[in-house]
């Protein structure tokens, strides 16, 4: 007959005195408190594994673990045994899962996701992405296990960004967080993407594009540029005119060294390493970009060469000629012309793209190739491999002639090639 062990009392456990060696006070059902020589009291439980071997579970010290809690833990262990589950293995698995959960923080997983994505981004995108995460996301939820983050935490994090007026950034980071959760799910580290259920938690963002004038505003813009009441330096004025004529990206223009321009043969070729898609770490576009100079653009470059041709860059910085012109200089110039918020460097590309397609009737594949756009699908990629150089040269000359006709006050005709060389400034009407 099994020995009946009377349950321990609070008085017995609390007043158990230490001895030279540790000893046990049993509570029944395998539960006991071990009194250590130091005076500490530890709750433990003896049990037999399915193979008959004896094992011990440790529940924790008294009084942190009370008699009631210790007995609850005993009951839970016996319940597991009845289900054929080893309480010791169950405990070890729980500890391992807890450790894994604690280590799989949002920041840790986000940095893994970032490391996988970096090769597909430009250096600028990579830098901006990490800065945004470190500034706005990691300080609030970065140390939280990704499985324990709740909707209200993520919403509060995003709304904090929104409250400072950065609505666009809040929406972008919301999308980024969605990608991070999706990555965690694919890696088996999370079961749910919280962002999926957060469609309307942020203020509706106003869809905006780069500010750009339309074709009907060109006469006034060209007139304002020619009169130069904004008192711009001549290179700055030429830069704006070239942006209109060749519509390369602002960085591609202002960072151009004279070594890339062949005035004698009328060629301007930008090496692929300087192009946006050429800066990708994975699958960079290694195609050099032919700017395709019209007579008018070439005339401007020759004029510019008399001013800055002895230096490195087409458009050197006014304070340090060893550095290129800043993008802000062009924005300030546009603002002084009265086009603040109405025109940007990228706006020249948007203006050219829409006008050439709509009014000059060129195929989008040809225009997009001159813009050096990334292909959006496989069909576009196939087109993109073609240079269309002959068609692009014709298009760029027609575009320059179109602008010249507008500036003269004529009605431009698609396909019409003017015969006049551009005079700077343009003849007054």
What is the predicted pLDDT for the residue at 419? Answer: 34
What integer pLDDT is reported at residue 101 of this predicted model?
A: 60
Cα-Cα-Cα-Cα dihedral sign, residues 56, 62, 67, 72: negative
**Entry pTM:** 0.53
Marked catalytic residue, from 41, 277, 349, 369: 349
Q: What is the pLDDT of residue 102?
A: 61
pLDDT of residue 359: 84
Residue 419 forms part of a structural domain: no
Q: What is the pLDDT of residue 428?
A: 40
**Overall number of domains in the chain:** 3
Catalytic residue among 71, 73, 174, 249: 249
Specify the pLDDT at position 86: 80
- CATH (domain of 68): 3.30.160.390
Between the two ends of the chain, the Cα-to-Cα distance in Å is 120
The domain spanning residue 140 has which CATH number?
Answer: 1.10.150.130
Task: Give the whole-angstrom CA distance, residue 304 versus residue 191.
Answer: 61
DSSP E strands in 11-53: the ranges are 23-28, 31-35, 41-48
Which residue in the list 108, 140, 171, 346 is annotated as catalytic? 346
Q: Among the three residues 197, 227, 255, which one is the final residue of a domain in this structure?
A: 197
Question: Is 290 one of the annotated active-site residues of the chain?
Answer: no
Vertex 358 angle, CA 354 and 360, to 5°:
105
- 57 & 161 share domain: no
Please pick, among 174, 276, 289, 392, the residue that the annotation labels catalytic. Answer: 276
Residue 54: phi and psi, rounded to 5, are -85, 140
383 catalytic? Reply is: yes
Residue of 373, 393, 394, 417 marked active site = 373
| Residue 252 and residue 162 in one domain | no
Domain's final residue, options 73, 94, 115: 94
Which H helix or E strand runs over 261?
Answer: strand 261-262
- Residue where one domain finishes, among candidates 197, 231, 250: 197
pLDDT at 83 (0 to 100): 84
**Is 276 annotated in the active site?**
yes
- Count Cβ neighbours within 10 Å for each residue of 155-170 and write b for 16 or more, e otherwise: bebbeebbeeeebebb
Per-residue pLDDT at 36: 94
Q: Say what the pLDDT of residue 178 is.
A: 92
Which residues, including other chains, have CB under 8 Å from residue 233's CB and lie 6 or more apart? 318
Q: CB-based contacts of 55: which residues, under 8 Å, 6+ apart?
A: 46, 47, 48, 49, 88
Residues with pLDDT less than 70, the chain: 1-3, 97-102, 205-210, 277-285, 373-387, 411-429
Residues 180 and 221 in one domain: no
What is the predicted pLDDT for the residue at 316? 92
Q: DSSP letter at 255?
A: T
Range of the domain at 16: 10-94
Q: What is the CATH number of the domain that holds 235?
A: 1.10.443.10
Alpha carbon distance 203, 174 (integer Å): 12
CA 422 from chain center: how many Å? 43
Pick the catalytic residue from 383, 393, 394, 417: 383
Quick one: pLDDT at residue 363?
80
Looking at residue 70, what is its pLDDT? Answer: 92
Residue 346 among the catalytic residues: yes
């Amino acid at each position: 007959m099994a020995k009946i062990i009377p349950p321990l009392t609070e008085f017995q456990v609390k007043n158990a005195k230490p001895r030279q060696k540790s000893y046990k006070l049993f509570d029944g059902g395998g539960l006991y408190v071990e009194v250590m020589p130091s005076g500490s009291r530890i709750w433990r439980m003896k049990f037999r594994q399915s193979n008959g071997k004896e094992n011990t579970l440790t529940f924790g010290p008294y009084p942190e673990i009370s008699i009631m809690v210790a007995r609850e833990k005993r009951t839970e262990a016996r319940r597991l045994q009845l289900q054929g589950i080893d309480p010791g293995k169950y405990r070890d698995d729980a500890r391992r899962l807890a450790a894994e959960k604690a280590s799989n923080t949002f920041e840790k997983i986000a940095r893994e996701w970032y490391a996988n994505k970096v090769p597909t981004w430009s250096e600028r995108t990579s830098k901006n992405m990490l800065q945004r995460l470190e500034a706005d996301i990691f300080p609030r939820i970065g140390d939280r296990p990704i499985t324990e983050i709740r909707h209200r935490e993520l919403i509060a994090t995003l709304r904090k960004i929104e409250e400072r007026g950065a609505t666009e950034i809040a929406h972008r980071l919301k999308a980024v967080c969605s990608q991070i959760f999706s990555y965690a799910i694919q890696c088996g580290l999370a079961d749910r993407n919280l962002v999926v259920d957060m469609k309307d938690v942020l203020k509706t963002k106003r869809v905006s594009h780069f500010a750009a004038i339309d074709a009907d505003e060109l006469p006034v813009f060209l007139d304002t540029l020619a009169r130069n009441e904004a008192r711009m330096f001549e290179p700055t004025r030429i830069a704006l005119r070239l942006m209109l004529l060749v519509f390369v990206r602002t960085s591609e223009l202002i960072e151009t060294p004279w070594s890339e321009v062949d005035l004698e043969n009328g060629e301007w070729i930008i090496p692929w390493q300087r192009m946006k898609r050429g800066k990708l770490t994975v699958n960079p576009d290694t195609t050099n970009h032919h700017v395709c100079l019209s007579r008018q653009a070439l005339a401007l470059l020759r004029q510019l060469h008399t001013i800055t041709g002895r230096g490195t860059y087409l458009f050197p910085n006014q304070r340090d000629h060893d550095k290129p012109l800043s993008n802000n200089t062009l924005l300030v110039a546009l603002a002084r012309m009265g086009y603040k918020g109405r025109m940007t460097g990228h706006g020249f590309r948007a203006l050219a793209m829409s006008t050439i397609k709509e009014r000059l009737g060129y195929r989008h594949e040809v225009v997009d190739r001159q813009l050096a756009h990334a292909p959006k699908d496989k069909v576009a990629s196939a087109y993109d491999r073609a240079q269309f150089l002959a068609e692009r040269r014709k298009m760029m000359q027609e575009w320059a002639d179109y602008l010249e006709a507008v500036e003269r006050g004529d009605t431009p005709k698609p396909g019409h090639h003017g015969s006049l060389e551009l005079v700077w400034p343009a003849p007054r009407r």
